[in-house]
Chain A
Amino acid sequence: MTNQKESNAIIEIEDLDFYYNQTKALKNVSLDINKNEVFAFIGPSGCGKTTLLRVLNRMNDLIPKTRVVGKVQIEGHDIYDPNVDVVQLRKSVGTVFQKPNPFPISIFDNVAYGPKAHGIKNKKELMEIVEESLRQAALWDEVKDRLNDSATGLSGGQQQRLCIARVMAVKPEIILMDEPTSALDPIATLKVEELINELKQNYTVVIVTHNMEQAARVSDKTALFLNGSIIETNETNQLFTNPKEQETEDYITGKFG
Chain B
Amino acid sequence: MVEVKPNHLIKVKRNQVFAFTMLSLAAALTVLILLAIVIYVMSQGLSVISMEFLLDSPKSMGAEGGIYPAIVGTIYLVGLVILIAAPIGVGTAIYLNEYMPDGRFKSVLRFATELLAAIPSIVHGMFGFLFFVIALGDYTGGWSILSGALTGVVMILPIIIRASEEALRSVSNNLKEGSLALGTTRWYTIKKIVLPLAIPGITTSIILAIGRVIGETAAFLLTLGGSLLLATTVFDGARTLALHLYLVAMETGNTEMAFGTGAVLIVLILIINLAATGLFKLLVRRFSA
Contact = CB atoms under 8 A, between A and B. Distances in A.
B180 interface: yes
- Counting chain B residues whose Cβ lies within 8 A of the other chain, the interface size class is 20 to 34
Interface stretch (A13-21, A28-36, A84-92, A211-219): A84-92
B101 to A, nearest CB: 6
B82 interface: no
A101 B174 contact: yes
Interface string B174-204: 1101111111110010001100010000000
Contact of A117 (B101, B178, B188): B188
A103 B288 CA distance: 10
B3 interface: no
Q: Size band of the A side of the interface?
A: 20 to 34
Contacts of B182: 90-91, 94, 113-114, 117, 166-167, 170
Contacts of A62: 177, 180
A99 B183 contact: no
A140 interface: no
A144 interface: no
Contacts, number: 63
B110 to A, nearest CB: 17
Report which residue of A64, A95, A103, A163 has the largest number of chain B beta carbons within 10 angstroms of its beta carbon. A103
A147 to B, nearest CB: 13
B288 A59 contact: no
B256 to A, nearest CB: 53
A104 B179 CA distance: 12
A103 B181 contact: no
A229 interface: no
A117 B174 contact: no
Given A97-B174, A101-B175, A105-B288, A118 B183 contact: yes
Given A64-B101, A113-B192, A117-B188, A103 B180 contact: no
A114 B288 contact: no
Nearest to A117: B184
B138 interface: no
B146 to A, nearest CB: 41
B177 A59 contact: yes
A57 interface: yes
Interface in B145-185: 172, 174-175, 177-185
Contacts of A101: 172, 174-175, 177-178
A101 to B, nearest CB: 4
Given A59-B177, A64-B101, A101-B175, A117 B288 contact: no
Contacts of B192: 113, 117
Contacts of A118: 183
A111 to B, nearest CB: 11
A87 B174 contact: no
Given A59-B181, A104-B197, 10 more contacts: A64-B102, A90-B183, A91-B182, A92-B183, A97-B178, A101-B177, A104-B288, A106-B289, A117-B182, A117-B184
6 contacts: A62-B180, A87-B184, A90-B183, A94-B182, A113-B192, A167-B182
Closest 10 CB pairs of A and B: A91-B183, A90-B183, A95-B181, A101-B174, A114-B182, A101-B178, A117-B184, A87-B183, A117-B188, A170-B182
